[in-house]
Amino acid sequence: MARVFDGIGSGDHLRYDTAVRTGPPFTLAAWFRSITVNNNQALLSLASVISDYNSFVLIAMGGVLGDPIQARQYDGAVAFAQTTTGFSANTWHHAAGVWASTTDRRVFIDGGSKGTDATSNSPANLGNTTIGAQWYAPGPAIDAEFPGRIAEAGIWNVALSDDEIALLAKGFSCLFFQPQNLIAYWPLIRDDDLDRKGNANMTDYGSVTVEEHPPKIIYPAPQFISHKSGAVAADAMPMAMQQYRIRRVSA
């Protein structure tokens, strides 16, 4: 089950009141299914704690011709990379924004349609991480509320490669890609808003509900130690042993 947001005027969003990343390099990614292409819709954002509206946001731009995805930011001026194709209503899409530096940002929809931008731009004072909207404090002010479902949101502290983004869009879980650099991961299965990699557990604001998860998400299998008498789950063993996977020995 994905998390469902009611969109403009609802106040629906998930928020952690710390920015899990305050500057490049980083990557934002999520699956989404919007009910409309008529509004700008924030999927995942890092935003300011003062009234300067500084932010980084992965956003579906329904208010722009062609309905592209943008890796967008604001430091008093706007800079963004924009996909070459757009999203459709009532369709699952994968979006990813890659911020390699203050002068290198890239964005993708469904693993392709890559857009780039090299404008120098450096948002500051970031203090929250939000799914389903942009939220600024003080104020508070909420913007670009998302109407529809979001799932499998992840943030890395590195710039993922084009090939890694393409594989994410095929349905592989965030856990497969540079797990040592995956700093936050919210599968958003049912009403579980916990961060499965760090401590950025989301709080539900408004009336965020649940609906069907994106199909065919592929998760890593648990590791097992096997021997003649059976198998033991890796997470039940000492950490020093979990790096090994031993094949079953035939009798």
The pTM for the full model equals 0.88
> How many CA atoms within 13 Å lie on the side-chain side of 54?
16
Does residue 30 surpass a pLDDT of 50? yes
Does residue 249 surpass a pLDDT of 90? no
What is the pLDDT averaged over residues 173-195?
Answer: 96
Separation in Å, CA 85 to CA 40, 111, 249:
15, 11, 51
pLDDT over 70, % of the chain: 88
Query: What pLDDT is recorded for position 236?
Result: 44
Helix (H) or strand (E) holding 162: helix 162-168
Kindly state the tokens that stand for 209.
Answer: 């509900």
Please give the Cα distance from 77 to 75 (Å, whole number). Answer: 5
pLDDT tens for each residue of 1-24? 799 999 999 999 999 999 999 999
| 130 within 8 A of 142, measured Cβ to Cβ | no
Query: What pLDDT is recorded for position 224?
Result: 52
Domains annotated on the chain, with CATH: 2-211 (2.60.120.200), 221-251 (no CATH)
Which residues contact residue 89 at a Cβ distance below 8 angstroms, ignoring those fewer than 6 apart? Answer: 34, 35, 36, 37
pLDDT tens for each residue of 86-138? 999 999 999 999 999 999 999 999 999 999 999 999 999 999 999 999 999 88
Q: Which of 113-122, 160-169, 180-189, 239-248 has the lowest mean pLDDT?
A: 239-248
Q: Which of 19-23, 209-213, 243-247 has the lowest mean pLDDT?
A: 243-247
- What rounded mean pLDDT belongs to the chain? 90
What is the pLDDT averaged over residues 182-210?
Answer: 96
Instruction: Work out the pLDDT band at 223, boundaries 50, 70, 90.
Output: low
Please give the Cα distance from 104 to 1 (Å, whole number). Answer: 34
